[in-house]
Chains A and B, each alone.
Chain A
Amino acid sequence: MEALLALTVGALVAAAIYLMLARSLLRFLFGLVLISNAANLLIFTAGRLTGGAPPLIAEGAEVPAGAVANALPQALILTAIVIGFGLFAFALVLVLRAHAALGTLDSDEMRVAEPRKRAAP
């Protein structure tokens, strides 16, 4: 199971990097979504996979009986998903604004803040 998930993470990261190397900002954003999900999956896998019971403690007991799934990575991923979603929504709107204001999504064409040096007159 770990091997399968590790390969999945690897494939996701590879696809994400391929997309992020593109000059189009929209492709970059798709890459960003993939790589954040790969990171989440990585945390999940690194937190050990136990195909066991949910981490519930029986009434009156102090500790759960037997092996249970690790709840902490799931809490971390949940936080990361929420934050990642917020940041992605911002980035999407920013790219939309960039397209409206600059008229292009090609990152090589975006030179308003850093104009190319003109040849000396």
Chain B
Amino acid sequence: MSWILSLPLIIPFATAIAAFALRDRAAGRWISVAGSAMLLGTAALLMARAMRHGVIAAQMGGWPAPFGITLVADLLSAAMVGITAIIALAVSIYALADIGGRLERLGYHALFNLLIGGVNGAFLTGDLFNLYVWFEVMLIASFGLLILGGRKEQIDGGVKYVTLNLISTVLFLSGIGLLYGMTGTLNMADLSRAVETVENHGLLSVVAMMFMVAFGVKAALFPLFFWLPAAYHTPAFSVSAVFAGLLTKVGVYALIRMFTLVFDHDTGLTHTILLWVAGLTMITGVLGAAAQSDIRKILSFHIVSQIGYMVLGLALLSPLALAGAVFYLIHHIAVKANLFLIAGVAQRLTGHTELARIGGLYKSAPLLAVLFLIPAFSLAGFPPLSGFWAKYILVKAALDIEGWLIAGLALLVGLLTIYSMTKIWAQAFWAPHPEGIAPALSRIAPGARAALLLPVAGLAGLTVLIGLMPQPLLALAEAAAAQLLDPTPYVAAVLGGAP
């Protein structure tokens, strides 16, 4: 059974090596597409296994847990690997047209697959120190992607991204050291039992805070998100899309994992802080977006705002709220990556992403306008799109425990999201182009057009599909939430039911 858990790691790394060897040829980019397609197949198999057998685990190198490194997939991990594979495939097709020969020779495809491998590793590992290593794999690949090409803005954004993320890394590492000192183990399932024997709850809470800050930087929570809007609008559109879709969500995943499995000793403290942080993240993100006038900057601030919703689900810690968080994660990754991909097409047609300098897309490219409306409305939470259900579940979970304030805030932020989306719509799509250009899709060569629009249409289709048939994903999210709230099967799968 171990191959199904290690393949989502082996495939991207093998693809990265092959793509690096062939970076001077056109074959390199097709290898990236083929690797992503294989990853999607593997992820589907993993999902099927996880649904049939519950939590599956494999001990790497034959060392029994908790001494060796364990790979483990519960429904949340499997679902995250699945959506990662979908985004990897969409972005690698988009990159066929978006990434030019210069970036390819610099090793774009190798770095991209390295990043996907790191993300999958973070989702699948069951060992805390191993999680740190995967974070670093992800980080170094993202550093490379962010500054690839070396334009001034990229270097400038890169400095802020790199420095703040390195601080978070040091905090994470210190937290691991202290937790190990207290419990004597690094295996997450073993930790879940070992923290119960720790008598000094105050010290445990301090370590929990270190993890919260470290993952909070990665997830771009208030007040630690400043690196994100400084950097995400600078690299190539493919890179922006994959960052926007996946990177912050790894931070959210790590928060959910650690604050359900390990740090549940004093939820009155930790999850109350998370609740405040979630509310402030939602509102500052959406207000920051309202002040921006560049498509990618608006979308970057909206990532921050949406992260707040997911953390809200974790903070409320009821079965429904956690299911909402999982649902939101999946929906958001597809929608957000798609919006950045659309911003790329819009930039190609009109020449810019600064709203004042573009326009006319609705008249001359109606197809793109429809494709934009789907994820934009979904982000704001219009029925019957995926975002409506995600918000509905979270608001209902908040109302169930009589959190009137936070429920109201979530609805208000949804309203303000519409404001930003309307701004993009009015300026980029409705208003005529200031230089009188008619930005029709036919301005792009047919081959490139297909490569750009296929992933956009596919992800929009996914959004509509989830919106019209939310039941399968909702059932999956509820089952994943149940596994998160009762870690007994997770612990048993990893440690083999040993006492």
Contact = CB atoms under 8 A, between A and B. Distances in A.
Contacts of B229: 114
A36 B152 contact: no
A101 interface: yes
A43 B180 contact: yes
A97 B176 CA distance: 33
Interface in B172-186: 173-174, 176-178, 180-182
A111 B156 CA distance: 7
Given A32-B166, A46-B180, A113-B233, A98 B139 contact: no
The interface residues of chain B, by DSSP majority, are classed as helix
B150 A48 contact: no
Given A110-B156, A112-B152, A113-B156, A28 B163 contact: yes
Interface string B221-241: 000000001110110000000
A5 to B, nearest CB: 12
A14 interface: no
B355 to A, nearest CB: 14
Interface string B123-158: 000000100110010011001000100101111111
B159 interface: yes
A39 B174 contact: yes
Interface in A4-60: 20, 25, 28, 32, 35-36, 38-40, 42-43, 45-48
A7 B187 CA distance: 29
Interface string A68-111: 00001100100110010011001100110110011000010011
Interface residues of A, number: 37
Contacts of A40: 173
B103 interface: no
A94 B148 CA distance: 11
A98 B156 contact: yes
A101 B150 contact: yes
A80 B181 contact: no
A111 B158 CA distance: 12
Contacts of B139: 87
A113 B177 contact: no
A98 B159 CA distance: 8
Contacts of B350: none
A87 B181 contact: no
B177 A46 contact: yes
Interface in B94-142: 129, 132-133, 136, 139-140
Contacts of A73: 177, 180
A112 B156 contact: yes
Max count, chain B CB within 10 A of own CB: residue among A20, A38, A43, A48: A43
A39 B177 CA distance: 8
Nearest to A90: B143
A87 B158 contact: no
A45 B154 CA distance: 39
A91 B146 CA distance: 13
Interface string B259-297: 000000000000000000000000000000000000000
7 contacts: A32-B166, A42-B177, A46-B182, A73-B177, A79-B133, A87-B140, A94-B162
Counting from the closest, the 5 A-B pairs by CB-CB distance are A46-B181, A43-B177, A112-B156, A113-B157, A113-B156
